[in-house]
């Protein structure tokens, strides 16, 4: 079996908490120059931008910056900083609840993505934390949806990453959520919902199929008033959009959900008026490295319950 070659350490530092792009040139010598290869390999980058990167020596190999006349070197490693997309700043604070030599736990606001992806790169929890805390090797232990607020956990040291990510993979973390949704007196709660959820890459909405269940959620009603319910949710599995889909399937979709039960038109990127009323409120686990019990709780509230008039009027949420 052919071994996967190890990527050398990047010679470029992170920029605003974002790693440089790494390119490994193919083994075949099929291009006369590095520029010719880059023009083919990076079709979304304008040729004049490639020329500017090479002229400015902003593309770096293992032996230093490369220039416009650099020959193609099969198997070489290259690094460069990509041009970042224009992003609307998320105007809410990312609160650090816990920081030691192994873990960083934050209280993430709505609308802030956990990790860079697509049009959200710098405006993500990971990039903000790497930059603010000076922790370039910080990595996520799990993922929390961009529209969901609450607890997200990050690992400080690369050698500890596997131990904490395995906790989430093996369902050894007890996760609790709060949600605000319509109250239905005919809906018998508490109950456990099980279904088969599939989420296709590039498709916004997940779907439930008639197949053996691969997801499980415990749903309880904490209290209700004025036609709204405050719910306690515990996902016993970790499918994408699981809680949102299960609540919608019960006929009580979570307030502010732009996907379930109906996919709404994409709002303006700077419209922060009605956040999804879903909060990752608690995580609890036994630390795999110390054996100590750990529990963290969110300090955030859901505006539709704490300030229903302001939320209904579309006032910008307070953070």
Nearest residue to 203 (alpha-carbon basis) of 152, 263, 153, 162: 263
Asked if residue 13 belongs to a domain, the reply is no
Asked if 206 contacts 239 with a C-beta cutoff of 8 angstroms, the reply is yes
Same domain? 67 vs 103: no
Q: Give the pair of three-digit tokens for residue 233.
A: 């949710």
How many domains does the chain contain in total? Answer: 2
Using DSSP's 3-state secondary structure scheme, residue 233 falls into strand
pLDDT above 70: residue 268:
no
pLDDT at 41: 86
Asked if residue 26 belongs to a domain, the reply is yes
pLDDT at 36: 93
How far apart CA 10 and CA 129 sit, in angstroms, is: 20
Asked if 251 contacts 195 with a C-beta cutoff of 8 angstroms, the reply is no
Same domain? 76 vs 100: no
pLDDT at 1: 41
pLDDT at 318: 45
Same domain? 68 vs 120: no
Average pLDDT over residues 75-102: 91
**In terms of residue numbers, what domain contains 58?**
21-80
Share of the chain above pLDDT 70, in %: 95
CATH of the domain at 226: 3.30.2350.10
CATH of the domain at 71: 3.10.290.10
Q: How close are the terminal C-alpha atoms of the chain, in Å?
A: 53
32, 55, 80: which is the final residue of a domain?
80
Asked if residue 275 belongs to a domain, the reply is yes
Same domain? 39 vs 174: no
Mean pLDDT, the chain, integer: 91
Same domain? 259 vs 292: yes
31, 56, 80: which is the final residue of a domain?
80
How far apart CA 218 and CA 236 sit, in angstroms, is: 7
Asked if 193 contacts 250 with a C-beta cutoff of 8 angstroms, the reply is yes
Neighbouring C-alpha atoms within 13 Å toward the C-beta of 3: 3
6-63 pLDDT tens trace: 788 888 898 888 889 899 999 888 899 999 999 998 888 888 999 999 999 999 999 9
Average pLDDT over residues 75-91: 89
Same domain? 57 vs 139: no
Burial (CB count within 10 angstroms: exposed 0-12, middle 13-18, buried 19+), residue 280: buried
Same domain? 65 vs 110: no
Same domain? 161 vs 60: no
Asked if residue 110 belongs to a domain, the reply is yes
pTM for the whole structure: 0.86
pLDDT above 70: residue 269:
no
pLDDT at 139: 95
Same domain? 121 vs 53: no
* Residue 313 binned pLDDT confidence (cut-offs 50, 70, 90): low
137-169 pLDDT tens trace: 999 999 899 999 999 999 999 999 999 999 999
Alpha helices (runs of H) in the chain, residue ranges in sequence order: 34-41, 47-55, 125-133, 161-169, 242-249, 303-306, 308-312
Same domain? 169 vs 296: yes
Share of the chain above pLDDT 90, in %: 72
Average pLDDT over residues 212-232: 96
112-125 pLDDT tens trace: 999 988 788 889 99
pLDDT above 80: residue 315:
no
- Sign of torsion over alpha carbons 283, 154, 113, 239: negative
Q: Give the pair of three-digit tokens for residue 102.
A: 């192994």
Same domain? 132 vs 257: yes
């Amino acid at each position: 079996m052919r071994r996967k070659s190890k990527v050398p350490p990047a010679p470029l530092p992170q920029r605003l908490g974002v790693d440089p792009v790494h390119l490994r040139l193919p083994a075949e010598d099929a291009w006369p120059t590095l520029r010719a290869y880059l023009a083919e390999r990076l079709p979304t980058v304008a040729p004049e931008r490639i020329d500017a990167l090479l002229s400015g020596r902003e593309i770096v190999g293992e032996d230093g910056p490369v220039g416009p006349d650099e020959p193609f070197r099969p198997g070489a490693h290259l690094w460069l900083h990509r041009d970042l997309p224009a992003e609307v700043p998320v105007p809410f604070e990312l609160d650090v609840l816990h920081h030691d030599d192994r873990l960083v736990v934050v209280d993430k606001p709505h609308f802030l993505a956990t990790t860079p992806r697509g049009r959200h790169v710098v405006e993500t929890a990971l990039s903000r934390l790497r930059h603010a805390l000076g922790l370039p090797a910080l990595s996520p232990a799990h993922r929390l949806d961009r529209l969901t607020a609450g607890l997200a956990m990050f690992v400080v040291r690369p050698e500890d990453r596997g131990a904490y990510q395995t906790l989430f993979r093996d369902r050894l973390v007890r996760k609790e959520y709060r949600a605000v949704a319509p109250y239905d007196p005919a809906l018998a709660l508490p109950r456990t919902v099980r279904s088969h959820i599939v989420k296709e890459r590039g498709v916004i909405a997940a779907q439930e199929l008639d197949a053996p269940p691969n997801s499980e959620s415990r749903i309880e009603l904490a209290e209700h008033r004025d036609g709204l319910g405050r719910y306690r949710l515990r996902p016993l599995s970790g499918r994408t959009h699981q809680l949102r889909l299960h609540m919608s399937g019960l006929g009580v979709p979570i307030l502010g959900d732009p996907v379930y039960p109906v996919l709404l038109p994409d709002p303006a990127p700077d419209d922060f008026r009605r956040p999804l009323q879903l909060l990752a409120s608690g995580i609890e686990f036994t630390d795999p490295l110390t054996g100590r019990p750990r529990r963290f709780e969110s300090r955030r509230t859901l505006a539709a319950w704490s300030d229903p008039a302001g939320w209904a009027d579309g006032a910008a949420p307070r953070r």
